[in-house]
Amino acid sequence: MTPLKERLVQLEVLRYNPDTDTEAHFQRYEVVCQEEWVVLDALNKVKADIDPTLNYRWSCHMAVCGSCGMMINGEPKLSCHAFLRDYEGVIRVEPLAHFPVERDLVTAPDDFMEKLKRVKPYMIPKEKKPISEGEYKQTPAQLMKFRQYSMCINCMLCYAACPQYGLTPSFIGPAALTLAHRYNQDSRDGGRAERQEVVATHEGVWECTFVGACSEVCPAQVDPASALQQMKITSSLDWIVEHLIPGGKP
């Protein structure tokens, strides 16, 4: 077996300790890594060999759990999916943009969690039926209508990429709105009218100006930008039906 290629990697990591710091600062680490590694591996090596005080989140190491999101050279990335071979020189690692920094690379996701709740991201059945009547059935075509939007891993990279969220933190934001769309598109669901109270507002889809950054950084190919544009169209149609058609109800 050919030996794996090694490389000296330089990391510039944003550090912040809420107990002692008033501001964040960058700290430089130099660590020998395998060429095949990802940025998360390099951080793990730093933590194991150089600085055990470094804080960051991760769990699955396979782009599934969505917990290792960071800004890598200014770009929102899953650090377990950011290959060292794609970077040259010093790699700058910062916590996800637009979220408060809890400690080092750990951000506070509270705002996102709150927004997720607001869009009611769960099935609100059209008609409730007793379990004895069996499952709510769905055809493959009905599944395909929303499948893509159900692939979100809640990594919040799209929020870190979205300048509208950065500038207007009350914006419900890409992933939460996309999840609302996912349930709205589900043939078994009847909760759209309830969700519209959050979706079709200034804080909802109308805060989106279609920068499209969310879709470019999404590691799960969810394409939140497409969901939001579709919701703008349906919300506009609702408005037309309600205001321009006598007796019309969206």
Partner 1 sequence: MSRRPLVRECPPTTWYFRQPRYMRYMSREITSIFVGAYCVLLVVGLQRLADGPMAWEGFLLALQSPASIVFQILALVAAVYHAATWFNATQKAMPIQIGEGFVPGKLISGAHYAAWAVLSLIVLILAGVF
Binding site for ligand FES (CB under 6 A): 58-61, 63-68, 78, 80
- How many other CB atoms are found less than 10 A from the CB of residue 42? 26
- Residue 158 lies near ligand SF4 (rule: CB under 6 A): yes
- Of 9, 13, 16, 218, the residue at the interface with partner 1 (CB under 8 A) is 16
Q: Which does 223 bind (CB under 5 to 8 A by kind): partner 1, ligand FES, ligand SF4, none?
A: partner 1
Evaluated on CA atoms 65, 67, 68, 74, the torsion sign reads: positive
Backbone dihedral region for residue 195 (phi beyond 0: left; psi -120 to 50: alpha; all else: beta): alpha
Q: Which does 60 bind (CB under 5 to 8 A by kind): ligand FES, partner 1, ligand SF4, none?
A: ligand FES
- Residue 93 lies near ligand SF4 (rule: CB under 6 A): no
Residues forming beta bridges with residue 70, ordered by sequence position: 77, 95
- Residue 220 lies near ligand SF4 (rule: CB under 6 A): yes
- Residue 205 lies near ligand SF4 (rule: CB under 6 A): no
- Of 12, 216, 235, 250, the residue at the interface with partner 1 (CB under 8 A) is 216
Please report, in angstroms and rounded to a whole number, the separation of the first and last CA atoms in the chain.
65
Q: Which does 78 bind (CB under 5 to 8 A by kind): ligand SF4, ligand FES, partner 1, none?
A: ligand FES
Rounded to whole angstroms, the Cα distance separating 169 from 196 reads 19
What DSSP line would sit under 151-220, residue for residue? ------HHHHH-HHHHH-TTS--HHHHHHHHHHHT-TTB--HHHHHHHHTSTTTGGG-----HHHHH-TT
Residues 122-141 within binding reach of partner 1 (CB under 8 A)? 140-141
Both structure tokens of 67 = 């917990």
- Of 224, 225, 228, 231, the residue at the interface with ligand SF4 (CB under 6 A) is 224
* Cβ atoms of 129 and 180 closer than 8 Å: no
At 13, is the secondary structure helix, strand, or coil? strand
Chain residues in the site for ligand SF4 (CB under 6 A): 152-158, 174-175, 178, 218, 220, 222, 224
Chain residues in the site for partner 1 (CB under 8 A): 16, 18-19, 21, 23-24, 74-75, 97-98, 100-102, 107-108, 140-141, 144-145, 163, 166-167, 209-213, 215-216, 223, 225-226, 229-230, 232-233
